[in-house]
Amino acid sequence: MSALPGSDYAKARIAGLSYLNPAAPEPWASFVEQIERVRPYLGDLERWIETLKHPKRTLIVDVPIERDDGTIAHYEGYRVQHNLSRGPGKGGIRFHPDVTLNEVMALSGWMTVKNAAVGLPFGGAKGGIRLDPKSVSKGELQRITRRFTSEIGIIIGPDRDIPAPDVGTNEMTMAIMMDTFSMNRGGTATGVVTGKPIALGGSLGRREATGRGVFITAREAARHLNVPLEGARVVVQGFGNVGGIGARLFHESGARVIAIADHAATLVNEAGIDIPAALAHVAAKGSLAGFAGASAIDIEDFWRLECEFLVPAALEGQITPQRAEGIRTRIVVEGANGPTTPAADDILRNRGILVVPDVLANAGGVTVSYFEWVQDFSSFFWTEDEINDRLERIMVGAFNAIWQIADEKQVSLRTAAFIIACHRVLEARAERGLYP
């Protein structure tokens, strides 16, 4: 991308739109390749496959704000609705300095597949702002979030497209988005976003849901491979919402989390890390830097640690072919979206390492978002036990259906999940007929 001329806006736009070019940069190219792998299994629906390689709607917005020092700053924001065949768009909002249109397109495509793979009545969407949220004040962040919400307000809504948290965003971001959308509309619309604070129509269990889904699918995979959880060694990259909760649930199950990493520190303790202490440290200090319960390790050595579960829960493209050759685990559980490149995926499969793909492993978050949206519409709220029971049923049901297809067709769990999802999406598309 750096070779492209023009402003950041133009570069992102060119890179993003290069999905028609087979040499398109990651991660959209990874998504397209994953779709292509399903082609032989689509039967008559194959004639619709290009639908999945073309995001339905792509919005790029300029987000200008007055900074605290009186200067004006501009940020680029995106909302991509990849597919709406099965229902309103659904997917998170990312605030991160490396966000590009290309990335948001891929993330929206994975949402389409994820929502269909677990049977949620949603299409796929995703959004983001190219911004380091730690680089601005609280007031600036609120102004950016409000302006962004107003700009994408022309395409989101409770029955159109429903954002949620992702990297760099949280319940507070969702509260501000809900408030801004509601002010612009002239009436409170709790169902426009999920992952809200409980007091604003949020759901019990949503904060923990993605990590819980990661743990449930890891447990199911372990059951199939006869890997005992008790004493199992676990390595987790990313110690935010997904990695932090996932690590805590492994820890509580009797597994031994031997290594954790965030941007600031990569840490190992073969005896097992005290995860509640590490979480308390991050809550107090903002990162793992300075945590005393483990020793620093080189990032490449981190990927070569011997373990039973490896959980990438940070960003895309972390498991490269080179790293895949050195990984020593039984099961990779993808907490992050798109952490494994297609070439690395093949290497892991050839080496007999099971990969529980993102579109299944991290679907717990959007599943409880679905519960939140349903609760908001009916204004009738469920207990945490009801939510966790329903989450468990959906995750285990989806895991078993995907496992069965993988077994029947002798494909990876990822391709099996894509087969199920693409059938559902393209069948809905075909049933709706052609536009006039």
Ligand X SMILES: O=C(O)CCC(=O)C(=O)O
Ligand Y SMILES: NC(=O)C1=CN([C@@H]2O[C@H](COP(=O)(O)OP(=O)(O)OC[C@H]3O[C@@H](n4cnc5c(N)ncnc54)[C@H](OP(=O)(O)O)[C@@H]3O)[C@@H](O)[C@H]2O)C=CC1
**Binding residue per annotation — 90?**
yes
90 makes contact, choosing from ligand X, ligand Y, none, with CB < 5 to 8 Å by partner type, with: ligand X
Question: Where does 287-365 show beta strands of DSSP type E?
Answer: 295-296, 309-312, 331-333, 354-356
Out of ligand X, ligand Y, none, which partner does residue 190 contact, by CB within 5 to 8 A per kind?
Answer: none
Interface with ligand X includes 92 (CB under 6 A)? yes
Asked if 83 touches ligand Y (CB under 6 A), the answer is no
d(CA 313, CA 358): 10
| Residue 88 touches ligand X, criterion: CB under 6 A | no
100 binds, among ligand Y, ligand X, none (CB under 5 to 8 A by kind): none
313 counts as binding ligand Y under rule CB under 6 A = yes
Residue 340 makes contact with ligand Y by CB under 6 A: no
Please tell me whether residue 365 binds ligand X under the rule CB under 6 A: yes
210 assigned ligand-binding residue: yes
Pick from 63, 164, 273, 387 the residue near ligand X by CB under 6 A. Answer: 164
Contact between 303 and ligand Y by CB under 6 A: the answer reads no
Instruction: Tell me how far CA of residue 94 lies from CA of 59, 133, 145, in angstroms.
Output: 15, 10, 11
Q: Which stretch binds ligand X (CB under 6 A): 64-72, 89-97, 284-292, 349-357?
A: 89-97
- Does the protein bind ligand Y through residue 84 (CB under 6 A)? no
Q: How many residues bind ligand X (CB under 6 A)?
A: 13
d(CA 91, CA 328): 32
Residue written as token pair 């005896």: 271
Rounded CA gap, 40 and 34, in Å? 12
Whether 369 has a binding-site annotation, put simply, is yes
**Does 196 sit near ligand X (CB under 6 A)?**
no
Check binding of 362 to ligand Y (CB under 6 A): yes
Ligand-binding annotation for 30, yes or no, is no
Binding string, residues 244-283; x marks residues near ligand Y by CB under 6 A: -----------------xxxx-------------------
Closest CA to 300 of 270, 328, 330, 274: 328
User: Which residue has 């002798």 as its token pair?
Assistant: 410
**Closer of 195 and 244 to ligand X (Cβ):** 195
Residue 253 marked ligand-binding: no
Nearest distance from C-beta of residue 362 to ligand X, angstroms:
6
Residue number with CB closer to ligand Y (224 or 263) = 263
CB of 120 to ligand Y, least distance (A): 13
In the range 324-363, which residues lie near ligand X by CB under 6 A?
337, 362
CA distance 399 to 416: 10
Q: What is the Cα–Cα distance from 390 to 395, expressed in whole angstroms?
A: 9
The number of helices, as runs of H, and strands, as runs of E, in the chain is: 15, 13
- Closest by Cα among 14, 16, 13 to 31: 16
* Distance separating alpha carbons of residues 427 and 425, to the nearest angstrom: 6
Strand ranges inside 300-404, DSSP E: 309-312, 331-333, 354-356
| DSSP string over 96-129 | ETT--HHHHHHHHHHHHHHHHHTT-S--EEEEEE
Least gap, CB of 97 to ligand Y (angstroms) = 10
Residue 409 annotated among the catalytic residues of the structure:
no
Of 11, 53, 56, 126, catalytic: 126
76: Cβ contacts below 8 Å, ≥ 6 apart: 8, 9, 12, 60, 61, 62, 63, 99, 129, 130
φ and ψ at residue 72, rounded to 5 degrees: -105, 130
Residues that bind ligand Y (CB under 6 A): 165-168, 210, 237-243, 261-264, 287, 313-315, 335-337, 362, 365
Q: Which residues are catalytic?
A: 126
Q: Which residues bind ligand X (CB under 6 A)?
A: 90-92, 114, 164, 166, 194-195, 337, 362, 365-366, 369
Please enumerate, by residue number, every residue annotated as part of a binding site for substrate. 90, 114, 369
Q: Which residues carry a binding-site annotation for NAD(+)?
A: 210, 241
